[in-house]
Structure 1
Amino acid sequence: MLHRLPLGQAIRSHSLQIGVLASMARPLRPQMARMFHFSSPAGNIDIESVNPIKHELKANQIVKVRTQNSWFADKPLDEKFRKGHSPLYESPGMQMVATAKRVTLGFGLAGLYFSKLMLDTGLFALPASTTLAVVSIIPFPLVIYLFSPYVSRIYRLYDDTKPQTLENLAQNETLVMEKINWSGRKAFNELVLVKDLQITGPSTWYNWPNWKALDPETGKPRYYYVTDHVGGLRMDRIWGIAERQSGVDNGRSF
């Protein structure tokens, strides 16, 4: 049922609508225009500055990888190999992982420093300072252990001595798995052959990683966590290959 407004209220309402429409039609003053001016993000925002781990791909950059035997040392590959100019996959939680490693590292160092000050002052007993040191340092190794399989970016490895044909790209297809290091400020690479890639079972690492592959040098399994439904068709193809090699059918077939 429609209700008719009083004449005075209707006139005021109509005048208010006309005033709003007129103000919208008038051009904004230069000061107001600058306040509401939004430029294109791609033109003014450097995507690399937003990401916590930067990657600069140069023309003749040598790819360095880390194996299970190299620990903290990176092994350079032959100069004929290079990473793709753009990643196939970029993790949406990369900033969170890098921040967690930085914060827990800083918290642990601060706790050790304050525990030393407690001993130097002589006002606190040894058990109190030891407890502070242990409690502050424990989160860091836990974060390192839990986030060790986390993959920040995935690249395809190319051989510049071969023509970039479909046959050459599919033969011994190799991925460069980029991970964030212990400090949360740098990244390192690991090589994975697509033919060795599999989906992990439900009893591996408390269901945290979802990919498994063999180390090219040692032959031992390595575990990775890659967010599904990120990377478009190119990553769907890799997921489909890994699922097919694991006996899993999720409807992805390439």
Structure 2
Amino acid sequence: MTERVCRIWEQIRRSRPMVHSITNNVTMNDCANIILAAGGTAIMAQDEREAEEITAHSQALALNMGALRAQDAMLAAARAAKRDARPVVLDPVAAGASRLRREMCSRLLEEGLVSVIRGNASEIHALAAAEGAHAAGVEADALDCVTEETLATAAAWAADFSRRTRAVILLSGAIDLATDGTRTVALRGGSEWMCRITGAGCMLTSLTAVCCGAVPDQIFDAAVTAAGVMKYCGERAYARVCEEMEGTASFRTRLIDAVSLLTASDLASGLRIQAL
């Protein structure tokens, strides 16, 4: 797995895939910068009158539910991506907060427009509940908080949800889980400080899209690559701010810096991937 991840990282730098992101205004700048830091190119078009055309020129599409006013653009772009066999990464931001968000996610999934669902545990849980994949008891606890003790249960649940949606699931948290319903891996590392800045999840979604754009026939491996890069670079950024006695704003900048400076050999030495 490590070898495949490193090859994908090198492929991004060679191919410079363009990612069309329809994302929220709070994190739009960070999302664009993380795509550029990885070696891709970014465009953020939210007008439904051009969404299809912009997507046709892109290698991947990222959809963030924080951009709710752009629903028509999301649908047009996702349908264009499916027509042209371009990967689509869905970030169900705050899916449990409103019916509007859940219904939009469900519409995208029902039309089979999504390649990867990238969210945290609560978002994936809310989205799964909306899709009829209810969890109860230990299963619900495992999904809401993936720990070493609940890892096996959460992994089995996520794999089942992947099969239901026919999308790769990338569940991010203290331990990340990636699954295509058949293969499942856990990724460890990162930093607790990633929860103390706005946009770490959105940046991971964008990073997932640029990885998928580089290897559209290897969606699962691309999702694992994005998670592995974010975990490793989070560790590097935290170590650096500790050395310099800096705070969370510097951590955000150093996270992007770490992605921009990352080599395949660095990644190979720093990945912590476990096949489940």
Question: TM-score, structure 2 length as denominator?
Answer: 0.22
More helix by share: 2
Question: TM-score, structure 1 length as denominator?
Answer: 0.23
Is the radius of gyration larger for structure 1 or structure 2?
1
Greater relative CO, 1 or 2 (CA 8 Å, sep 6+): 2
